[in-house]
Structure 1
Amino acid sequence: MKIEVKELTKRYGEKEALSNLSFTLNEPKIYGLLGRNGAGKTTFMEILAGQITATKGEVLIDGVRPFDNQRLIESICLIKEGNNFKKDLKIKHVLKIYSYFYPTWDQELADKLIDEYGLDRNAKIKTLSKGMESALGISVGLASKAPITIFDEPYIGLDAPSRKKFYEILLEEFQNEKRTIIFSTHLIDEVSLLFEEVLIIREGKLVLQEETDSLRQSIISVSGPVDAVKTYIENKETLEIKQLAGMMNAYVYGEKEEALEYGLDVEGVPIQELMIHLTERKRGA
């Protein structure tokens, strides 16, 4: 399903959560939606899921607005950091409700995940720990098999082995049946290898959208003697420069082979580091 975001703006009183945000997601991929707290990521995901309306602009899914459109809403599953389920419901009731709502629901996968995370189907949501509630959210999101599945910090409280299992199952399910998965997280180093395309938002505006493979090849970390680094980065766009005791390190848009010809040490820039530099308040887009 094609997602078009056109000059999307959302205001809460005097605060502007999104500001003329525009981009297109053309095909089923695992997208990383990154940014600092308050960047507007959750607001965008709630508009996409049809839960709230925009102040200005629009989101279109295959040319149609999702808000108040039952057919489209059944194609979108948003799992947020918390409060996804009514507290007085039992886990088995949550699974039943979601199975009725999503035409693509996979009960076999839901049962597998509930067992994998050791959840008691008769337990009420209000009795679950934060980690157990996150495990239920992950299970519902994956089992929905919604053509657009959105995870917004979905695993608060889960330990590292449980998060790893989630990544493995998510990737396996995606490979078996492609869908658009939008993933927002602060644990970027853990999941960056899953991302096929990355979008970075800063203060409600898009500062980067690029395929991950291209991103890793186009932005490099170079280090070496100050004069050599300065010569190499001259007339190149740099993101960060650090100098210490006659040595210099720079994050730069460049090519590995060329940097090596200057006798520099060359490494890739982790996506988490890139996000940090692109979203620092002192920097422009």
Structure 2
Amino acid sequence: MTAAIEVDHLTKRYRETLALDDVTVGFAENTITGLLGRNGAGKTTLMSIITAQNFATHGTVRVFGREPYENADVLSRMCFVRESQQYQDESKPHHAFAAARMFFANWDQQLAESLVEEFRLPMNRTIKKLSRGQLSAVGVIIGIASRAEVTFFDEPYLGLDAVARQVFYDRLLADYAEHPRTIVLSSHLIDEIAHLVENVVVIDDGRIIVDTDAESLRGEATTIVGQRSAVETFTAGRRVIHTDALGNTLAATVLGALTEADRQALARAGLDTEAVSLQQLVVRMTQHAHQAQTTTTKGAPR
């Protein structure tokens, strides 16, 4: 696939804090990518640098093959909606939408008005008097109705209740199907967006630890459950990223697709398998990567 965004050896340092550590990653054109990771992992910093709202210490970013910084043509083709989006306190939602309509060439006013109705957004209330959920709705409406060629959603929908979040997911997917563009979703609600994303990028401690298509990742891990000795025998030599023990029962999550021979061996050993959800997999891989990094750091010579 053609990359709409190319990040090459990107590093961002804040004094003693390394927010991004030599990140190289691409975001495919006309694809929905889940950008996943813990708080402070570097997700917002990465998106901020791509949209020229922050500066890299080292490395390069190209959007549509061009540097975004001080490039009005590139910036006008991107929309960045974040949880901490700021608006003028005395303004009302229609002011925010009017500004977006002037900035985004593909803005769809009819779509915006339809979303206002679906989110039940009070248009005559000032921004500062909106609830957290209503403020989130302003952001996601702009993100969808902008139809920007590249759109980043940095968890602006966390303030929405479950019903409103489902409206967001449904409307985003429906409009994307009719008007494909590059969308990056940053979220802690991984299982909620699992059906939306085509690619997955996981960032941990400023480093990319996963960059693959979602379908491949879903089949990448399995949890093996059964008698401890039998599980340990089967998983010997495999990459185990998590274990849970209860008495003589052990559950071990292993990376790597199981072959037919593996499944026959599991059946002979009386072991069961459990699917690993995308959220569980991301959590386990993040924990495993952190533990590996900690072990390496502790073992490094001084």
Q: TM-score, normalised by structure 2?
A: 0.90
| 1:134-145 matches, cutoff 5 A | 134-145=136-147
Q: Give CA deviations for 1:155-195 in whole Å, capped at 9, x if unaligned.
A: 13211111111111111111111111101111112111211
Q: Give CA deviations for 1:64-107 in whole Å, capped at 9, x if unaligned.
A: 11111111111110110023322222211111110010001111
Contact 2:227 2:249 in 1 (8 A): yes
Corresponding residue of 1:266: 273
Query: Paired residue for 1:166, among 161, 165, 168?
Result: 168
SS across alignment from 1:283: helix
Corresponding residue of 2:229: 227
Aligned pair in 2 of structure 1 residues 156, 217: CA closer, same or farther (>3 Å)? Answer: closer
Query: Paired residue for 2:184, among 182, 185, 209?
Result: 182
Distance (whole Å) between structure 1 residues aligned to residue 87 and residue 30 of structure 2: 27
Distance (whole Å) between structure 2 residues aligned to residue 35 and residue 173 of structure 1: 26
What is the RMSD of the two structures over their aligned residues, measured on CA atoms?
Answer: 1.6
AA at the equivalent of 2:205 = E
| 1:20-169 matches, cutoff 5 A | 20-169=22-171
Distance (whole Å) between structure 1 residues aligned to residue 149 and residue 230 of structure 2: 50
Distance (whole Å) between structure 1 residues aligned to residue 261 and residue 86 of structure 2: 50
Pairs aligned (count): 285
In structure 1, the gaps of 5 or more residues are none
In structure 2, the gaps of 5 or more residues are 295-302
Distance (whole Å) between structure 2 residues aligned to residue 93 and residue 26 of structure 1: 33
- 1:282 aligned to 2:291? yes
Q: Give CA deviations for 1:100-126 in whole Å, capped at 9, x if unaligned.
A: 100011111101011111223232211
Q: Give CA deviations for 1:226-279 in whole Å, capped at 9, x if unaligned.
A: 233223222221211233322221111233444431223222211222222222
Percent same amino acid among aligned pairs?
38
Contact 2:85 2:139 in 1 (8 A): no
Contact 1:30 1:180 in 2 (8 A): yes
Contact 2:78 2:151 in 1 (8 A): yes
Contact 1:90 1:125 in 2 (8 A): yes
Distance (whole Å) between structure 2 residues aligned to residue 218 and residue 211 of structure 1: 11
Contact 2:4 2:182 in 1 (8 A): no
AA at the equivalent of 1:173 = D
Contact 1:10 1:54 in 2 (8 A): yes
AA at the equivalent of 1:277 = R
Corresponding residue of 1:238: 240
Distance (whole Å) between structure 2 residues aligned to residue 206 and residue 56 of structure 1: 16
Distance (whole Å) between structure 2 residues aligned to residue 45 and residue 87 of structure 1: 25
